[in-house]
Amino acid sequence: MAWMETNKMDQRVRFIAAWTQQQETVTALAARFGVSRKTAYKWIGRYQNEGPAGLQERSSAPKNQARATPVEIADPIIALRRKHPAWGPRKLRARLALDHPECTWPAASTIGEILKREGLVRPRRPRRRAPPMEHPFAEALAPNDVWCTDFKGWWRTGDGRRCEPFTLSDAMSRYLLACKPVDRTNFVTVWPLVIDAIREFGLPRTIRSDNGPPFGTTAAGGLSRMGVHLIKMGVLPERIRPGKPQQNGRHERMHLTLKKEAATPPSATLAGQKRRLTKFKNMFNHERPHEALGQIPPAKVYTPSPRIWDGKFRSPDYLKADHIRRVRTEGAIRWRGNMLFVSELLKREPVGLFEVGEDEFEVRFGPILLGRIDQKNRMHRIKVKKPPRAPAKCNQRARSETSPM
C-alpha cells in the first residue's frame, strides 16, 4: 500500500511526529496514514538510524549492476568515440568488431547508452523530411561503373584563406578517389586532378556531376571541354538535372561527413586544412565502416578499373550513322549547302547524323545528343537550362568554357 496522495515527505514527517508522541500503536498509525505495517516499521527504523535524513526518497536501483558493461569493454568504445566524434553506435560497433573480432561487443543500443552516460551524445531536434526521390540513373552495380564528382562548398581557414575541395568518389563502393582543395573551379585546375585519378585507378564507365563548369555548360548538349575529353577517352559524362543535388545523393552524403569530420571547426591554416583532408580521405576509405556496405570500409570493396587509359584521345566512331560531318573551326558543319552552327568546343571533331524521321536527323557527338535538323535544314541545338544557384558566376564560367580548345 502506498502513502496517501499528498507530498510523501510531509506524510512521513507527520507519521514520525505522531509516532514519537506514543499515543497510538503502530498498527493504528499505519491505518490512519494509509500504509502497511511493514512500511510504517521501515520508516521508523530509518528515522531511528539516520534521523530526519532517513525519510528522504532513495533510489531503488541495485548498487551492483549484474549486467553492467564491463570497464574493459566500455573504455574502448569511449576512446573510439572520442577519436571519431561523428561516428554513431552502429559504426563504432562495426569498427570495433573489425579491429577486435575476438571480443563480444554490446548491441548498438547499449553503446548508445554508454555514450549518453559519458556525455558524448548531443540530442538533435527531429527534422521533417521529404520522401526520397527515385534515382533517375542506372544503378552502379560494380566499382568504376559510376564515379561521382563535385566541389564541397568553400569555407575560410583560421588564417583567412579560402578552401574549396574538389572531390571524386566511386558510387558503388563509396571509395573516395580524390579530395583536394583547388584555387579555381575551372577546367585548367580540375582536369589534372581527374587525369591523376584515372592514371591511378583506371577508366570508369561514367562520371556523374552537376551542370556547373567545368563539368557542363550551356553549349549544345551541355558539353564542356571536360565532357569532350572524357568522351574521347571512352567515358560517358552524365549530368544531374539542374538544381537536383539529390540525384547525386551518395556523393552529397559524403560531403556531409567531410564537413563534420574535417571542416568543423576549420583548421588554423590552409596547409593544416590540406593535411586534415588527406587524413580524412584515408580514414574514410580504410577505417570508417559504411552502413550501405554491410558496415565495412570502402577499401574492402573497391578495386581499380581493368580499363587502363593509354594516354590517347580518340574521336567517337559512328558505325550506324547515316552521315558524318566534321565541325569546322568556327563551330559549324556544312549540310546541304547550308552552314549549321553546332559548337566551338567541337572544332575539327566528327559528329554523326542519324535519321529519325522523314528528312529529319539527330546530331550527336558520341553518345551525346547535340540537336536536331528539321525538314527545312535548320539546326535546333539541345541546351541545358542554367542551374538556379549562383547564375552570374555560372554564366561567367560557362563563357570561359566555350572558348576554343
pLDDT tens, residue order, the chain (405 aa): 555 555 778 888 888 888 888 888 888 888 888 888 898 888 888 888 888 887 787 776 666 565 678 888 889 998 998 888 888 899 898 999 999 988 889 998 898 888 888 888 877 666 554 344 333 465 789 999 999 999 999 999 999 999 999 999 999 999 999 999 999 999 999 999 999 999 999 999 999 999 889 998 888 989 999 999 999 999 999 998 877 777 888 999 999 999 999 999 999 999 999 999 999 999 999 999 998 899 999 999 999 999 999 999 999 999 999 999 999 999 999 999 999 999 999 999 999 999 998 889 999 999 999 999 999 999 998 876 555 554 444 444 433 443 333
Judge contact between 95 and 289, C-beta under 8 A.
yes
In this prediction, residue 118 carries a pLDDT of: 85
What pLDDT score does 64 carry? 59
Do 336 and 379 meet the contact criterion of CB atoms below 8 Å apart?
Answer: no
The residue type found at 331 is: G
Do residues 106 and 73 make contact, with C-beta atoms less than 8 angstroms apart? Answer: yes
Question: 169 forms bridges with which residues in the sheet?
Answer: 148, 176
Q: What's the length of the chain?
A: 405
Confidence (pLDDT) at 400:
41
The angle at the Cα of 318, spanning 317 to 323, to the nearest 5 degrees, equals 140
Measured distance CA(188)–CA(150) in Å, rounded: 15
Question: What per-residue confidence (pLDDT) applies to 274?
Answer: 96
Q: What is the pLDDT of residue 137?
A: 62
Contacts of 5 (CB under 8 A, 6+ apart): none
- Kindly state the greatest CA–CA separation across the chain: 124
What are the cell numbers at 98? 573489425
The confidence score (pLDDT) of residue 142 equals 95
Rounded CA-CA distance 277/322 in Å is: 50
Instruction: Enter the pTM of the model.
Output: 0.70
Strand order in the sheet with 360-365: 323-326, 350-357, 360-365, 368-373, 379-381
Going from N- to C-terminal start, the domains of the chain cover 8-55, 84-119, 146-300
CA distances in angstroms from 114 to 77, 85, 220, listed in the order given: 8, 14, 58
pLDDT of residue 403: 39
CA-to-CA separations, 123 to 86, 112, 115, 126, 385, in angstroms, rounded: 13, 12, 12, 9, 41
Which among 219, 182, 141 has a CA at the least distance from the CA of 394? 219
Q: How far apart are CA 211 and CA 149, in angstroms?
A: 11
Alpha carbons 282 and 287: distance in angstroms, whole number:
8
3-state secondary structure of 245: helix
**Topology (CATH level 3) of domain 146-300:** Nucleotidyltransferase; domain 5 (3.30.420)
Residues 309, 315, 321: CA angle, nearest 5 degrees: 130
